[in-house]
Amino acid sequence: MGLFDFASNIGKKIFGKDDEPAKKIADHIAGDNPGIDDLEVSFDQGKVSISGEAQSAAAMEKAVLMAGNIEGVASVDASGVKAPQQTESVEFYVIQKGDTLSAIAKHFYGNANEYPKLFEANREVIKDPDLIYPGQTIRIPK
């Protein structure tokens, strides 16, 4: 997994002008640790670089999404993360205005009642299934 682009003007606001962004991002990821050991984070002009040892490919993807869904982050480079090969098919989706998890589930799975699957796959970036926002990037497990 290499470089991922995100909308830098939206997302969770976690740091101010006097904060050390890399530390705040590392603390944010570590708070809901998706399975990254020896996590290291750097931040330079909107680009986050993460490294460490992922317990799974999903853990690495979740860490990337956690970092990328922060206001002020334009891209995430995960090339420094060692992770096992992906065993499940995953797609990424950028939430659009008017989307709900039910509508996204209906689109991808053919059944709106499958939205808990999306919520569980993105629990680190979606804390409440009723609170998603346009521009947020989520995982869509197949």
| pLDDT confidence of residue 3 | 75
Strands (E), the chain: 3-5, 36-44, 47-54, 75-82, 90-94, 137-141
Residues 15, 78, single domain; the answer is yes
Residues 67, 137, single domain; the answer is no
pLDDT digits (tens, 9 = 90+) for 98-137: 999 999 999 999 999 999 999 999 999 999 999 998 999 9
Residue 43, domain extent: 3-82
pTM for this model (two decimals): 0.85
Q: 41, 65, 82 — which closes off a domain?
A: 82
Burial class for 60, CB neighbours closer than 10 Å (0-12, 13-18, 19+): buried
pLDDT < 50: residue spans in the chain: none
Count of CB atoms situated within 10 Å of the CB of 130: 8
State how many domains the chain has: 2
**Residue whose entry in the numeric block shows the structure tokens 């569980």:** 120
Rounded distance between C-alpha atoms, residue 129 and residue 106, angstroms: 15
Residues 74, 98, single domain; the answer is no
| pLDDT confidence of residue 2 | 62
Rounded distance between C-alpha atoms, residue 32 and residue 37, angstroms: 12
Q: 57, 82, 107 — which closes off a domain?
A: 82
